[in-house]
Amino acid sequence: MPLTSGRNTPRQNADVVVAPVAGNTKIFEGSLVVIDQGNAKPGAEAAGLVAAGRAEEYVDNTGGAAGDKKIRVRRGTFLFENDAADPVTNAHLLTECYILDDETVTSEGEGRSVAGKVLGLDPEGVWVEIK
C-alpha cells in the first residue's frame, strides 16, 4: 500500500554486511570472506563462491550449525597477499583477480572465484576492491 504520510526509513551502512557463518567454521579477523550457499566462510580455492569482503572480527562457529553465529564483513578495498606461483602483476590493473585462500589472491582464474578488481600493487601485496 502506498504511503499517505512521511516515513522514517531505516538506513544501514552499505559497506558492512552481517552474514550467517557456515556450520563448523572459524573465520579470522582480517581474512577474505566469501559467501557459499548463503553462509560466510573463509576464502578458499573453489568456483562458485561470492567474495563478501574482509572479516571485521573473529568468529568461531566450531561445533555450531549454519547461522548459529553471525559475522560483520566490510566491503571496500583491501591489501591481500599475492600468489607466488601465479602472481597478480601491473598488467592486471583494473581487471579481476581470483581467490586462492583467505589471505591470498592470484591471477589464475581456472577453478577459482573472483576476489575483486585489482586497484594496485605494492611490495606487501595486491590492493583488491570488493564490492
Amino acid at 1: M
The tens digit of pLDDT for each residue in 92-111 reads 999 999 999 999 999 999 99
User: Could you please report the per-residue DSSP string of 64-114?
Assistant: PPTTSSEEEEE-EEEEEEEPSSS---GGGTTSEEEESBSSEEES--TT--E
34-38 mean pLDDT: 97
pLDDT surpasses 80 at 12: no
pLDDT surpasses 80 at 28: yes
2-27 mean pLDDT: 92
pLDDT of residue 13: 75
Amino acid at 42: P
The pTM assigned to this predicted structure is: 0.90
Query: CA-CA distance, 86 to 59, in Å (whole number)?
Result: 30
**Residue 68 pLDDT grade (very low, low, confident, very high; cuts 50, 70, 90):** very high
Q: Is the dihedral of CA 101, 17, 72, 95 positive or negative?
A: positive
